[in-house]
Chains A and B, each alone.
Chain A
């Protein structure tokens, strides 16, 4: 390929390498959670800078005093609303919340979260499986937030989830990807998209997720609680694109010893 061809190919990889999720084609591999932003203005600017095409929202009792409309912001940007079941601790609650979300947004798409305890916010695998089975049966497109457990991920895929979304580290911890080996195992076996969900702290974490072979990244706090959310959102967009391109480019193996990049042949004797 010509130099121009390679450059064009790299640009294509970085910017137009879409992926299929839930039967739809998406250009952006970055999904943004809307939690934690200091204002709707911050959220709007960050969503724009992120280039995200999907944003997650939670369902709560309506507050007649609430100012501004989250949905109005998301709809104005033409971003797809992915409701979640944040705050649910049982399969029963998650299923009910999913049904509410389906009525509220007229969508079958659902980010399924079933949390085990409020200190770690780690998923409850038993309740998660139960909820996923019920919801898939009921026609939902289920995207489950799950532990970084390859066996559990495989079970969720077999049930019929349209993606698996393993955590990098606990929600909001910003601790990055604590078990990259498990994430690799999940990616290696998965027949559905793998979205790294939770734990991203900064741009290099998002790049690493993509380098490990994830199909996308879902993050919120890393952007919403950054000092400058809009700037971090742009950094995440670039990190996901760079990590994806690096994955496709094929990294060199790690070596213990140095390997000279120029040969000794023809070395001048001085």
Chain B
């Protein structure tokens, strides 16, 4: 199935979880400083592994960067 991951379309196995998607970015989503949203809704840390993705969903994986603008 295809999902949109941080703006790019990626192919994942059917039934892939939010965690699986993040791992394609070489990112452990349960690591400190990482958070995930699916279709604009924040996925609680405890549900990242158990939340399945569906075709066409938008996944955002974010982390801390230097900033912002002061």
A-to-B contact residues, CB < 8 Å: 33-37, 43, 56-62, 64, 66, 70-71, 75, 81, 83-84, 86-87, 96, 99-101, 103-106, 113, 121, 171-172, 197-198, 218-221
Contact = CB atoms under 8 A, between A and B. Distances in A.
A222 to B, nearest CB: 9
Nearest to B68: A86
B68 A113 contact: yes
A87 B70 CA distance: 12
Nearest to A221: B70
With a 10 A CB-CB cut-off, give which of B26, B32, B61, B64 has the most chain A CB atoms.
B64
Interface in B7-31: 7, 22, 25-27
A212 B70 CA distance: 20
A86 B68 CA distance: 5
Contacts of A81: 64
Q: Which of B25, B34, B40 has the most CB of A within 10 A?
A: B34
Given A56-B70, A61-B7, A198-B70, 15 more contacts: A34-B66, A60-B62, A61-B6, A62-B6, A62-B22, A62-B25, A62-B27, A71-B64, A100-B37, A101-B35, A103-B43, A106-B32, A113-B68, A171-B69, A221-B70
A64 B62 CA distance: 11
B69 to A, nearest CB: 5
A86 B69 contact: yes
A61 B63 CA distance: 6
A104 B70 contact: no
A34 B67 contact: yes
Contact of B62 (A35, A37, A56, A100): A100
B1 to A, nearest CB: 21
Nearest to A172: B69
B67 to A, nearest CB: 3
Contacts of B43: 103
14 contacts: A35-B69, A57-B64, A59-B63, A61-B7, A70-B64, A84-B67, A84-B68, A86-B69, A103-B42, A104-B63, A106-B45, A172-B70, A197-B70, A221-B70
Contacts of A33: 67-68, 70
Given A61-B61, A62-B25, A96 B68 contact: no
A144 to B, nearest CB: 14
